[in-house]
Amino acid sequence: MNTGQKNSPEQYISDTVDLSVDLGGLRLKNPVTAASGTFGYGREYEPFADISRLGAVIVKGTTLKPTPGNPAPRIYETASGMLNSIGLENPGIEVFLDIHLPYLLERGVQVIANIAGNTFEDNETLGAMIRRQSGVAAIELNISCPNVEKGGMHFGTDPDMVFQVVNAVKKVTDLPVIPKLSPNVSDITIIAQAAQAGGADALSMINTLMGMAIDVKKRKPVLGNIFGGLSGPAIKPVALRMIYQVHKEIDIPILGGGGIMNVTDVLEFIMAGSSAVSIGTANFVQPGISVQLINELADYMVANNVAKISDLVGAAVYK
* CA atoms of 162 and 120, how far apart (whole Å): 10
* CA atoms of 308 and 20, how far apart (whole Å): 8
Q: Binder to ligand FMN among 26, 28, 31, 37 (CB under 6 A)?
A: 37
- What binding mask, one character per residue, do residues 90-129 give for ligand FMN by CB under 6 A, x or -? ------------------------x---------------
* DSSP-derived 3-state class of residue 27: strand
User: Closest distance between ligand FMN and the C-beta of residue 226, in Å?
Assistant: 17
- What binding mask, one character per residue, do residues 156-185 give for ligand FMN by CB under 6 A, x or -? ------------------------x-----
Task: For the beta carbon of residue 32, count every other beta carbon within 10 angstroms.
Answer: 28
- The residues near 12 (Cβ < 8 Å, ≥ 6 apart) are none
Q: Binder to ligand FMN among 110, 281, 290, 292 (CB under 6 A)?
A: 281
Asked if 70 touches ligand FMN (CB under 6 A), the answer is no
Asked if 292 touches ligand FMN (CB under 6 A), the answer is no
Asked if 260 touches ligand FMN (CB under 6 A), the answer is yes
CA distances from 193 to 26, 189, 267 (A): 20, 6, 25
User: Closest distance between ligand FMN and the C-beta of residue 78, in Å?
Assistant: 12
Task: For the beta carbon of residue 299, count every other beta carbon within 10 angstroms.
Answer: 14
Number of residues that bind ligand FMN (CB under 6 A): 25
130-134's contacts with Cβ under 8 Å and 24+ in sequence apart are 130/93, 130/97, 130/173, 130/175, 131/173, 131/174, 131/175, 132/174, 132/175, 134/97, 134/101
- Region binding ligand FMN by CB under 6 A among candidate stretches 22-30, 120-128, 218-226, 279-287: 279-287
Left if phi > 0, otherwise alpha if psi is -120 to 50, otherwise beta: which for 42? left
Q: Which of 145, 255, 266, 277 is catalytic?
A: 145
Positions touching ligand FMN (CB under 6 A) are: 35-38, 60-61, 84, 86, 88, 114, 142, 180, 207-208, 231-232, 235, 257-260, 279-282
Known catalytic residues are 145
